[in-house]
Structure 1
Amino acid sequence: MAFSENYRQSLIPSFIYSSSSASKKLIDMDHLMSNRNIMLNSSSSPSISSNGGVTSSKKSIVIPAPNEPGKIEMFSPAYYAACTVGGVFSCGLTHTSVTPLDLVKCNMQIDPAKYKTISSGFGILLKEQGIKGLFRGWVPTLLGYSAQGACKMGFYEFFKKYYSDIAGPEYAAKYKTLIYLAGSASAEVIADVALCPFEAVKVRVQTQPGFARGLSDGLPKFIKSEGALGLYKGIVPLWGRQIPYTMMKFASFETIVELLYKYAIPTPKEQCSKPFQLGVSFAGGYVAGVFCAIVSHPADNLVSFLNNAKGATVGDAVKKMGLWELCTRGLPLRIVMIGTLTGAQWGIYDAFKVFVGLPTTGGVAPAPAPAAVSAKM
């Protein structure tokens, strides 16, 4: 269909093709920008002049507080760096703080005849090694889980965004749990490579009295005894323990927090105070930690067994311990330890995110993509 010249011109702003009216249609950009600055400048306040007009009185610019939202751009390099640092604090500090519990658990797994219960385990360690002995192996614990936490949290945030972008908004919202599972599993594969050498030395130091005082002398002894590759002898059982644990940790946490804000908390998340949101993070993390402990406990027993017995295999562990013992030995203590640990990790991680100006994790389901509307010609 042919259009007349006048009709085509009527669809185009006149100042584009009419030179005679250009001076009348051009916008005074200086005037527009000055008005925009007055409206958007939060450091200026209006005052009434003597002739009834409104003037703007300039004040000093206020630097945003560290916890002011928007300080770090979401999904920017700075965002992933902040999540990585938050992972160092959340995992390194919490695992180190429960070293006594971890020490008793490992010894119950290796020598159940001697360390029969939690209380007797603590009593034996105190009697034989004193208070100081309860924190044996804290250095490899701190360094190992700090490295693991950095990779786990930083790469989880990266892979969650990466897989969501691949799926697209509609499928990312529909299959969000699969996104959480895939993102956390991918992150944990990398995180365990960083953790494994420290975990191997930690277990040997904690379960073999006299082997070494800590990481500084334990690492050379371990390498001399097992070789450098021996540090990664437990990588497959470690993946078997940590990947299901982390998948449960992230997917259940995200789901629990979302359900809490949806059904149990009458106020939308964005209207809740930051301390309240951090409380929700801890509660959701604790419940998620209980599930994590149950799912990953058999592999945890395998890791302790393999790192304590030279040349042992998974088959040896199953044959000696049996399936029931493999799934239950030391489980009550691990539920208490991992529940508290996971709750504290999410609390610390989200507290750090709030401190640097980021929102807490979870609680808002991804919005599906709006349906495409086809224009009719």
Structure 2
Amino acid sequence: MATTQDKKLPFGKIDLYSSRYFYACTLGGIIACGPTHTAVTPLDLVKCRRQVDPSIYKSNVSAWRSIFAKEGLRGVFFGWAPTLAGYSLQGAGKYGFYEVFKYWYGEQLFPNTNRTLVYLGASASAEFFADLALCPFEAIKVRMQTTLPPYAHNLRDGWKKVVAQDGIGGLYKGLYPLWARQIPYTMTKFATFEEAVNLIYRTLGGPKDSYSRLTQTGVSFAGGYLAGILCAIVSHPADVMVSKLNAERKAGEGAMTAVSRIYSKIGFVGLWNGLPVRIAMLGTLTGFQWLIYDSFKVFCGLPTTGGH
């Protein structure tokens, strides 16, 4: 029976691990990922272009000045539409499925398993499915952002061109490299976050429930920021290769053949182009994603993530 306090919650009382709980986590993932990735489109735009052609701009600031002078604010945020659509869908899968798999693996299938292994397995499983939703939009975004003049001027135009040239399969040409980038990234992001949050609470000296919800969401932001820095480093070589593949892959060329050809051209050092920008971008991005996600859970009357 619902209490007066439960009725004050926006969606009523939500039982942990119920279908409504997982739906709420999925919605939280959309809110956390779509807008935040879209907000850093200017960083992403310059990062992708410099990964493909390191000589295109002297610095990030000069890049934004040049783009703004020629195209205005719209040019600085070029590629925002596929970013918003793709990362909203990815956020739904990443956070929603993570909560599902963490419950299945940690509470149902392997209750006595080391918790870090549960975090790693749950995040890898979640990202596998999330990338199926992200891949078409990522392919269009990267082609739009890394070609001059642009391959397409908007999401609809890009979708039509890719399908016309390569069929629906063209939207998934970068799926394997995307998995190679995103799965290690997400495993690092979620496992590091969970461990960082636990460490912060141990350092503070009290159980999570003894702190206010404001403090708890602050811990989520700090844990997320630390996780973002580490996962940016872990996943960066694959991120460079995804950008290169979407921009330079030849018609009919196999994925591994393209990877080998591109690597022979850029070498090991080339895989690290744009890393400082990506660290700044993902540290901030990941911190705010966890802050938004856990704030939404608090808004729904649910506990924040980690620290148990």
TM-score by length of 1: 0.76
> Which amino acid is 2:264 matched to?
K
The verdict on how the C-alpha distance between 1:123 and 1:79 changes in structure 2, with shifts beyond 3 A counting, is same
Deviation of 1:74 after TM superposition, in Å, equals 0.5
Matched, 1:270 2:270: no
Higher relative contact order at CA 8 Å, sep ≥6: structure 1 or structure 2? 2
Deviation of 1:64 after TM superposition, in Å, equals 3.5
- Give CA deviations for 1:136-179 in whole Å, capped at 9, x if unaligned: 111110010000000111110111111112112xx23xx10000
Deviation of 1:117 after TM superposition, in Å, equals 2.2
Matched, 1:185 2:124: yes
> Which amino acid is 1:322 matched to?
G
> Which amino acid is 1:227 matched to?
G
Deviation of 1:126 after TM superposition, in Å, equals 1.9
Match for residue 62 of structure 2 among 120, 139, 142 = 120
TM-score by length of 2: 0.93
Structure 2 unaligned runs (5+)?
Answer: none
Match for residue 149 of structure 1 among 70, 84, 91 = 91
The verdict on how the C-alpha distance between 1:258 and 1:62 changes in structure 2, with shifts beyond 3 A counting, is closer
Deviation of 1:221 after TM superposition, in Å, equals 1.1
> Which amino acid is 1:271 matched to?
S
The correspondence of residues 322-361 of structure 1 with structure 2, limited to 5 A, is 322-326=267-271, 328-361=272-305
Match for residue 173 of structure 2? 233
**Matches of 2:82 and 2:6, distance apart in 1:** 40
Match for residue 91 of structure 1 among 33, 36, 39 = 33
The correspondence of residues 271-290 of structure 1 with structure 2, limited to 5 A, is 271-290=210-229
Match for residue 203 of structure 1? 142
The correspondence of residues 1-377 of structure 1 with structure 2, limited to 5 A, is 64-66=7-9, 71-164=13-106, 165-168=108-111, 171-172=112-113, 175-208=114-147, 209-263=149-203, 265-311=204-250, 313-326=258-271, 328-364=272-308
Q: Is the 8 A contact 2:143 2:150 kept in 1?
A: no
The verdict on how the C-alpha distance between 1:140 and 1:41 changes in structure 2, with shifts beyond 3 A counting, is closer
**Matches of 1:67 and 1:260, distance apart in 2:** 30
Q: Is the 8 A contact 2:6 2:13 kept in 1?
A: no
Match for residue 46 of structure 1? none
> Which amino acid is 1:166 matched to?
L
The verdict on how the C-alpha distance between 1:75 and 1:41 changes in structure 2, with shifts beyond 3 A counting, is closer
Structure 1 unaligned runs (5+)?
Answer: 1-39, 43-60, 365-377
**Matches of 2:219 and 2:150, distance apart in 1:** 43
- Give CA deviations for 1:162-211 in whole Å, capped at 9, x if unaligned: 1112112xx23xx1000000000000000000000000000111122332
**Matches of 2:166 and 2:55, distance apart in 1:** 27
Deviation of 1:128 after TM superposition, in Å, equals 2.8
Aligned residues: 300
- Structure 1 segments (4+ residues) deviating >6 Å: none
**Matches of 2:7 and 2:158, distance apart in 1:** 47
Q: Is the 8 A contact 1:108 1:116 kept in 2?
A: no
> Which amino acid is 1:134 matched to?
V
**Matches of 1:167 and 1:62, distance apart in 2:** 35
**Matches of 1:266 and 1:180, distance apart in 2:** 24
> Which amino acid is 2:72 matched to?
G
Considering only CA atoms, is the larger Rg found in Structure 1 or Structure 2? 1
Q: Is the 8 A contact 1:241 1:299 kept in 2?
A: yes
Q: What secondary structure is seen at the aligned counterpart in 1 of 2:92? A: helix
Deviation of 1:84 after TM superposition, in Å, equals 0.4
Instruction: State the identity as a percent.
Output: 54
When structure 1 is superposed on structure 2, of 159-168 and 254-263 the one drifting more is 159-168
**Matches of 1:183 and 1:207, distance apart in 2:** 33
- RMSD (Å), alpha carbons: 1.8
